Structure 1
Amino acid sequence: MGLELKRTTILAIALFILVSNLFSSDSKKPLSKTDNQAIGILENYCIDCHDEETKKGNFDLSFFIENHEENLHLVFENLITGKMPPVNKQRPSQTEQEKILHWLSKKQNNHSINDYRRTSRHEFVYSVNDLLGVRLDLAENIPEDRGTNDFDSNRKILLTKEALDSYFSAADEMLDFALPEKGFPNEKIWLTNSIKDSHDTYSIYTQNYEDGILFSWTRANNGNNYSFFYDHFEPPVKGWYELTFDAKKLGQFDEDVSILVYSGKYYFADDRPQPQRLLGVISLTNKELQSHTIRAFLHPGENVSVHCYSKHTFRQKKGRDGAFIKQLKVKGPVLEKWPPKSYNKILDGIEISFEEKKAIKAPIYQTRLKAIGGSLSVSSEQIGMEKEKMQDGSNRTFWHSRFRPTVAEPPHFVIIHNKEHKEIHGLSYSKWTGGNGNGQVKAYSVYLSDDEINWGRPVIKGKLDTLRSYEQKIIFPQKTNRSFIKFEVTDAVSLDGKSIASIGKLDVITSVNDPTLRSKISILSKSEKDLKGVIRNFAESAFSTDLTNEDLLPYYNVSLLSYRNEGHFLNAVKAGLKSIICSHRFLLAPGEHSNKYYETASKLSRILWLSVPDQELLGLARSANLETETIRQQIDRMLKDEKSKRMIHSFCSQWLNLRSFDKVNPSLKLYPEYNDILNHYLPIETETFINHLIQDNLNINNLIHSNFAFLNQRLAQHYDIKGITGQKIRKVSLPEDSVRGGLMTMGSILKITADGFDTSPILRGAWISKNIVGNTLSPPPENIVAIEPDHSNNRNLKEQIEAHKNNKACYSCHKSIDPYGFALENFDATGKWRTQYKIEKPHRGTFQFTLGGYYNLSQRVDSSGTVENQKFDNISDLKKIIISDHKRIAYSFIKKFFEYANGYQPSLSERLDLFGLIPNNPKNCKTKDLITEVLMYSLRER
């Protein structure tokens, strides 16, 4: 480099400092000693490679001078993490590095943050749940408003009208659930061992066995997990229900058989599937009958279904292996105690009266017609195919008009007797699903009568779809309560020219009068003083502070106005509570507090529990006893509390981007073994691992590599680890040569950094750079075309990316991204180990799922590379390189946790402080200790 150009660059730096001083109170001062020292350090270690002419890494310090705020972070991060200068160049001493870092941190002029932020949807729901003593998951009912921010605690996110409306609606629903005006529904008990009809292509994988049902594993032709729906139970009201399956494993193999339990709307065939929620997984070990209970929140209109998984029973039709379920027992809606926790929590000290609750057995009706006391008659019937077959709850059995020994003369019809004169809205028809279709109804007419003699004109005529196997509804023009309804067959399928008719199921569409009995709790107090006491106690818990009467006046007024107008104590309480949880004081964090101790308690609980402080924290704040050592003790207590798992889930979802886990579904052609049970456990593995690092205060290096993992049978199968049975997640020691251990080789991480079809070293490398090693990355230029990996051509993936990096604008970032991603190329888009790439191959005709998939093997995987002048051959080598710098791992982690906890990225001076929290000795760098230090630092007044 020419001496003149070098002097120009140094001059530019000096000019930058002088110009910066124009905007400060020291604008008349010349360059300080610190400024001159900084210029000297830059001259000695940086300018030779990063002047306007050389511009290594496409970085020009003179350009940095002109655009210093944009690039300040990049220079600072490269220095503090030791990324620059490179290890093969002369590097500044520790003292010199500290000087330049402090100097850079002082040059950050603009780091303003909002004093308040909106309460996130998860914080709102958890907080209100804890305040009311209920458990409702309503966060998904509130719009996601994170935008492009990494964390939903970001202080830049504003409270929108749309969000407010959703908060208010959620508040109403939670208050009505906690304090129902009509009382609490009594518990009922349902017993069932029958399933609803399913398409013939799937029903063959269930069979009657002993006094229950034996299920084998199947998947729908389109690859969906096909579920079998239990009959004779539908939740009458929303609430928590206990689902108890009496079940056992059948089979001589070692592995457990799994029952995946879902809830959702019933569907007959996979061509019209309905969304299903996975409630839980039951793992069958024993060959003797045992009871297995899952507690789940259910809604009216949902049905419970099961999908039984075992690799040994795939599409077995007449086998004797699988999951045997004798019966399903449902109890609910259940309460943990009576009177419920919500009353004890909200109305503490208020006198109430109540009766003991009892569970009652729910009546089971095969059809709605039977439930309303109705019956039916027919024009004729064949022996073995009588009219009762239409009312046995299955369309595998059926009614058929007489065809032997003589064929009955038309018309063929069914008459429904509405003995109780119930209001009927229409009919529900299903064809029978067996046979050749002979006699299936093609057209019909419906008549009404009061005497079964005079029918008049048809009230409705229509045609039915003979190809449709599931329910077809016939809605009347007007509802009727007349005594007789005739369903007359006017046209039917006839394969032999004879007039016949057949029906699988025929039922009425009506509201079954099965009122839900409720247990009421009477509030004996009529005192406005008691009402105000309830409001005060709730408000002080919600706002996490002592409150004056003046503070409480708006909330008093709302509840008292309601009470004086309606005279209803409970409704007045609900009105007052809603005004509290929908107030700006509750919806904006950190809130207003009467002393610093309450503020500390509020911040701790919001970060670690996503909620309000409990009584222990509030008591310490009230007595001004929340100082340094006590805070540390409380952090330890709070992390041990079950509620800290909320923080684990929230932090992992955002820091590791697990929130996008379900946005990509792996290709069924390339990865046919991927299924719902694996999809369920992959993120659980990650969260359990992080929770363990915190609870046991393990070394932060475990994020990169650990000699253990948290696995169960399905995860172990996916990772090719032998000897693990049962679906309970447990800590498993890994062999020394295992490629697993740590975050980077977990299936959840490998799935979210792929597109479901192929892997991308760029996506995976960017994820590691950003979330693990903490490289500062710039967004890609707008005119750069993304790489679509192609394993079928002559160039391998590495060569394709190298060609992409010939562009200087690309190279500067890709050198810090791609090597990390290449190290993970031995893991496919689901996280399974591979040595060769797969290429999708076409299938014939309509796609039919097969466990063999539709692919060919292609090029061999190359997972070698060079990162920061250090070569590696595989992921194990890369892990060793990353672990060699524990401070870099810890620094990246605490920056992320600081941002999560505080709602903004730390300033450069705060980053210096955070870096100073990291122990010099790698053995002392523990996960919980780092979290504790970040929290203590965040609570400090700065």
Structure 2
Amino acid sequence: MDAIHQGAIEVERIAILLAALTAAAVSLPASQDFDALITPFVEAHCVKCHGERKQKGDIRLDILDRDFSKGENAILWQDVSDMLITGDMPPEEEVRPPMGDVSQIIKAIDTELRSAAASMNERGRIALRRLSHSALDNTVKDLLGIDLLLSKNLPADPDLEGFNSLAVTLDANPEMVLKLQNNANTIAKLAIASGEDIREKRSYSIGTIGHGHNVEEGREFVTTSSSRDRKHTMWPKDFFVPQDGLYRIRVDGFARDYRTDLEEQGIEYTYLRENYEQSLKKRDRKPNDEPRLVSIIAIQASEARHMDAASVPGRRVGYFYIGNEMDSQYVDVRLNKGENIMVHYAAAAILNQSPTAVVEGEERLVADLLHVKSITVSGPEIETWPPPARQQLLGASDTVPNNVEERIGDFLFRAFRRPVPKNTLQSFNLLYQTGLDQGLTEQESMGNVIEGVLTSPRFLFNYDKGDGKDVWALASRLSYFLWNSMPDNTLIKLAENDQLQKPRVLRKQTARMLKDPKTQRFIEDFTAQWLGLKDIELMRPDPKLYEDYDPLLESLMRQESETFFQEVLEKNLPITSFLDSDFITINERLAKHYQIEGVDGSEFRKVALPKDNPRGGLLGQASILKITSDGTRTSPVVRGVWILENILGDPPSPPPADVMPIEPDVRGTKTIFDMLSRHREIETCADCHRSIDPWGFGLEHFDAIGVYRSQYRNGQSVYAKGSVPNGSFDGIADMKRVLLNRSDQFARALTEKLFTYALGHPLSFQERLIADDIAKANSQKGGGFKDLIIAICESPLFRGEIQSTQVAQN
């Protein structure tokens, strides 16, 4: 039977199951009734794999405690229900129970879960938590109006279940506090600065562009021909970064291969070096209409000089593509005080000596060349001068206002995101006055106040205990969910007037916030965690196998997923768009990567897909395909686990500790399917791999950087078949149809991920019931993705008002 017919049968099966559940075919008010129903079902269909002799997945159902008031038991029974709903249990090779029996068991488990949740009578578990690194940095920017990183050099936020913003992992250990104090001191000095505006825009051209000895100056352009070392780089002479911050680097110029130009014109050229004459003319080259990669490297200002045979030093902080006609390209980079930058032609060949040739009697560089007319450095990025915090606390002039204490109070109110206790206000006023008494200037003393604010627990932590009456906690919960930053003045005013918790007001504010540009922070932070985009820089592809891959393409891959997410959100599209869509959001470079014609320019835009194109939805995006590969080859196991965890919300058990890794195929004669067969033959591995591998094989037509392929490098045909409960497929198109038949499961998984991110903790079984009800209601009324987020923000669980007694009523 083909996948389409199986999909139709699956749709019918789910429809029958849902109808049976909706009709509440069974009513079980007492646990005794549950035992009477569940015991024979388990004995008939479950104990063979989950009984005394065998416990697949380390689960034994015949003695699984049926006391649902214990959270760990409730979670296990909830997982059992999920597997029955999706058809993962019992396995297909076993005798399948009648659909009516299955629906009865699912309804019985659901009834027991809701009854237990009601009897536990607990509020949601919203907990006080430290701001994540990204939230800290966004809050500093919104509070102070300067773009400096409070998170600079801090230990990484720990990861739990894909999230690095959960209360249980976000502490403030001594190492973090020490580094944070140093960062706060640096930020405070700039935030309160006055005097001459440090923001500058400096342009450099012939004569003021420094360069290595293998770079040539012409009348208009500085030209380089190699990416080998610093002899081939250029930099702005005598530039010195005045202050840590964000700077814009603009380069005016173009890049093209002079060999191609000469040969097309029929002009002969002869290299001065014999080895270049023998090799360089024959070397592969890029077409001149293909943009070239340029990198910006941060170095210490003292290092901006020529050095023989020295590798390119410093930090690569930014990249851009430059075309073959005169153009202006820029990139925003983060620089430290005392640094300069180097322009490095990353796309050029690695040549040790200059490729000088005789052309019509003249000596010229003949190779793939970057011609730079000017370099412009602008920054640091600061909203106004003097900085906003300076103006708020001490005014814009040199005259200190007479209401400094009142200004400090207003500043603390914004920084701490709620009314400030009187003793706290007194402490900060005393800190300011003590500084003056000790001979500090007003600016220096106020710098101490700002530094104290940035290191205060009231700034670092959201004091949110899930109290539905705490409007200030609600304002912060909403803003850190949708903006990953502090509440704005509108939210503060509504909280001040005790209006924010009103349903109509909350809904209106949620809709307003989702239209604000700051929603981009939510998009970037949530996709980094949900989809794993934060890990895209790990496992760099082997350059010998993937020559077209570069760091800028990697960045564009991530941007594609973010702009796609943004499109689904802004247009309120169905959440099934994440599973499959008739469009993608790409720019010219990604269009080339995907072999899609007619897309020009660096701007991302919505592009319609033909029906037979495999790219629609998340699973055709290079970012997802890259992070689920190992840099040399694809990994059906990693990809299968990714789908189970992030799309279906059904993470597999971790592998046993004694399982040997897959042996590499050094001869290149085996397919990945053959290599994985060993795991399928080991009993302790087979069960999990039966559920993992098929999903991964469905993506095998995409290589490790997301390029579509029909064959492996060894010439064998790609194996992209899979069979899962209630569906089979051959290739990505078929697999998407199977996933669309599980759209309810995806809706539950996505809603639970959103709630986890919003509340800052993994959901309890009571909270999962509420999240699943919201997902179901949104699907039933045909709601889109924006509708789902609004429903989350309106929910009593998000507002901190829910009690478990309300679960059973949903």
Q: Which residue of 1 aligns with 2:23?
A: none
Q: Give 1:374-413 correspondences, 5 Å limit.
A: none
AA matched with 1:133:
G
Q: Which residue of 1 aligns with 2:98?
A: 90
- 1:620 matched to 2:494? The reply is yes
Q: Secondary structure at the match of 1:48?
A: helix
Q: Deviations over 1:383-438 (max 9, x none)?
A: xxxxxxxxxxxxxxxxxxxxxxxxxxxxxxxxxxxxxxxxxxxxxxxxxxxxxxxx
More strand by share: 1
* Matches of 2:139 and 2:677, distance apart in 1: 51
Q: Deviations over 1:745-765 (max 9, x none)?
A: 211111111111122111110
Q: Which residue of 2 aligns with 1:648?
A: 523
AA matched with 1:879:
K
More helix by share: 2
Q: Deviations over 1:513-560 (max 9, x none)?
A: xxxxxxxxx1333x4xx2211211111112222335344222222222
Q: Is the 8 A contact 1:181 1:571 kept in 2?
A: no
Specify every segment of 5 or more residues in structure 2 that has no aligned partner in the other structure, as ranges. Answer: 1-27, 67-71, 262-286, 357-364, 803-810
Q: Is the 8 A contact 2:197 2:386 kept in 1?
A: no
Q: Is the 8 A contact 1:545 1:598 kept in 2?
A: yes
Q: Which residue of 1 aligns with 2:442?
A: 569
Q: Is the 8 A contact 1:585 1:591 kept in 2?
A: no
TM-score (norm 1): 0.69
Shift of 1:83: 3.9
Q: Give 1:807-818 correspondences, 5 Å limit.
A: 807-818=682-693
Identify if the C-alpha distance between structure 1 residues 114 and 544 changes in structure 2 by more than 3 Å, giving closer, same or farther.
closer
Q: 1:665 aligns with which of 514, 532, 540?
A: 540
AA matched with 1:573:
M
Q: Is the 8 A contact 1:257 1:310 kept in 2?
A: no
Q: Which residue of 1 aligns with 2:140?
A: 128
Q: Give 1:732-771 correspondences, 5 Å limit.
A: 732-771=607-646
RCO higher in structure (CA 8 A, sep ≥6): 2
Identify if the C-alpha distance between structure 1 residues 282 and 642 changes in structure 2 by more than 3 Å, giving closer, same or farther.
farther
Q: Which residue of 2 aligns with 1:243?
A: 249
Q: Deviations over 1:105-142 (max 9, x none)?
A: 66688999573222222222221221111111343421
Q: Secondary structure at the match of 2:547?
A: coil
* Matches of 2:154 and 2:477, distance apart in 1: 23
* Matches of 1:797 and 1:669, distance apart in 2: 20
Q: Which residue of 2 aligns with 1:189?
A: 202
Q: Deviations over 1:439-477 (max 9, x none)?
A: xxxxxxxxxxxxxxxxxxxxxxxxxxxxxxxxxxxxxxx
Q: Secondary structure at the match of 2:433?
A: helix
Q: Give 1:161-200 correspondences, 5 Å limit.
A: 161-180=174-193, 184-185=197-198, 187=200, 189-193=202-206, 196-198=210-212
Q: 2:375 aligns with which of 328, 332, 344?
A: 328
* Matches of 1:197 and 1:704, distance apart in 2: 50
Q: Deviations over 1:654-675 (max 9, x none)?
A: 1111221112111122112211
- 1:38 matched to 2:34? The reply is yes
Shift of 1:691: 1.6
Identify if the C-alpha distance between structure 1 residues 249 and 802 changes in structure 2 by more than 3 Å, giving closer, same or farther.
closer
Q: Is the 8 A contact 2:644 2:692 kept in 1?
A: yes
Q: Give 1:669-748 correspondences, 5 Å limit.
A: 669-748=544-623
Q: Is the 8 A contact 1:635 1:932 kept in 2?
A: yes
Q: Which residue of 2 aligns with 1:430?
A: none
- 1:234 matched to 2:260? The reply is no
Identify if the C-alpha distance between structure 1 residues 308 and 764 changes in structure 2 by more than 3 Å, giving closer, same or farther.
same
Deviates more, 1:237-246 or 1:312-321: 312-321
* Matches of 1:42 and 1:275, distance apart in 2: 65
Q: 1:279 aligns with which of 318, 329, 345?
A: 318
Q: Secondary structure at the match of 1:603?
A: helix
AA matched with 1:281:
F
- 1:145 matched to 2:157? The reply is yes
Q: Is the 8 A contact 2:242 2:337 kept in 1?
A: yes
TM-score (norm 2): 0.79
* Matches of 2:349 and 2:309, distance apart in 1: 23
Q: Which residue of 2 aligns with 1:341?
A: 388
Q: Which residue of 1 aligns with 2:431?
A: 558
Shift of 1:876: 0.9
Shift of 1:637: 1.7
Identify if the C-alpha distance between structure 1 residues 811 and 321 changes in structure 2 by more than 3 Å, giving closer, same or farther.
closer
Q: Is the 8 A contact 2:144 2:387 kept in 1?
A: no
* Matches of 1:70 and 1:226, distance apart in 2: 63
Shift of 1:80: 5.3
**In terms of Rg, which structure is larger?**
1
Q: Deviations over 1:621-658 (max 9, x none)?
A: 11112111211121122122222211211111111112
* Matches of 1:531 and 1:707, distance apart in 2: 58
Shift of 1:873: 0.8
Q: Is the 8 A contact 1:213 1:324 kept in 2?
A: yes
Deviates more, 1:260-269 or 1:544-553: 260-269
Q: Is the 8 A contact 1:823 1:878 kept in 2?
A: yes
Q: Is the 8 A contact 1:563 1:572 kept in 2?
A: yes
- 1:908 matched to 2:768? The reply is no
Q: Give 1:239-388 correspondences, 5 Å limit.
A: 239-248=245-254, 255=289, 257-258=291-292, 260-265=294-299, 272-281=311-320, 283-284=322-323, 287=325, 289=326, 291-307=328-344, 318=365, 324-333=371-380, 335-344=382-391, 346-347=392-393, 351-353=395-397
* Matches of 1:81 and 1:542, distance apart in 2: 47
Q: Secondary structure at the match of 1:732?
A: strand
Q: Give 1:783-794 correspondences, 5 Å limit.
A: 783-790=658-665, 792=667
- 1:929 matched to 2:787? The reply is yes
AA matched with 1:710:
T
RMSD of aligned residue pairs (Cα, Å): 3.5
Shift of 1:268: 5.4
Q: Which residue of 2 aligns with 1:61?
A: 61
Deviates more, 1:257-266 or 1:826-835: 257-266
Shift of 1:929: 1.5
* Matches of 1:692 and 1:137, distance apart in 2: 29
* Matches of 1:715 and 1:918, distance apart in 2: 33
AA matched with 2:496:
R
Q: Is the 8 A contact 1:805 1:814 kept in 2?
A: yes
AA matched with 1:751:
K
Shift of 1:311: 10
Specify every segment of 5 or more residues in structure 1 that has no aligned partner in the other structure, as ranges. Answer: 1-31, 354-521, 839-856
AA matched with 1:906:
L
Identify if the C-alpha distance between structure 1 residues 255 and 628 changes in structure 2 by more than 3 Å, giving closer, same or farther.
farther
AA matched with 1:62:
D
AA matched with 2:335:
L
Q: Is the 8 A contact 2:295 2:346 kept in 1?
A: no
Shift of 1:877: 0.4
AA matched with 2:106:
Q
Q: 1:870 aligns with which of 724, 727, 730?
A: 727
Q: 2:738 aligns with which of 861, 881, 898?
A: 881
Q: Is the 8 A contact 1:590 1:602 kept in 2?
A: no
Shift of 1:213: 3.3
Identify if the C-alpha distance between structure 1 residues 915 and 113 changes in structure 2 by more than 3 Å, giving closer, same or farther.
closer
Q: Which residue of 2 aligns with 1:516?
A: none
Q: Is the 8 A contact 1:709 1:741 kept in 2?
A: yes
Q: 2:43 aligns with which of 26, 30, 47?
A: 47
AA matched with 1:535:
I
Identify if the C-alpha distance between structure 1 residues 790 and 37 changes in structure 2 by more than 3 Å, giving closer, same or farther.
farther
- 1:941 matched to 2:798? The reply is no
Q: Secondary structure at the match of 1:62?
A: coil
Q: Is the 8 A contact 2:409 2:425 kept in 1?
A: yes
Q: Which residue of 2 aligns with 1:386?
A: none
Q: Secondary structure at the match of 2:30?
A: helix
Identify if the C-alpha distance between structure 1 residues 271 and 819 changes in structure 2 by more than 3 Å, giving closer, same or farther.
farther
Q: Secondary structure at the match of 2:517?
A: coil
* Matches of 1:860 and 1:922, distance apart in 2: 42
Q: 2:220 aligns with which of 200, 203, 211?
A: 211
* Matches of 1:772 and 1:199, distance apart in 2: 54
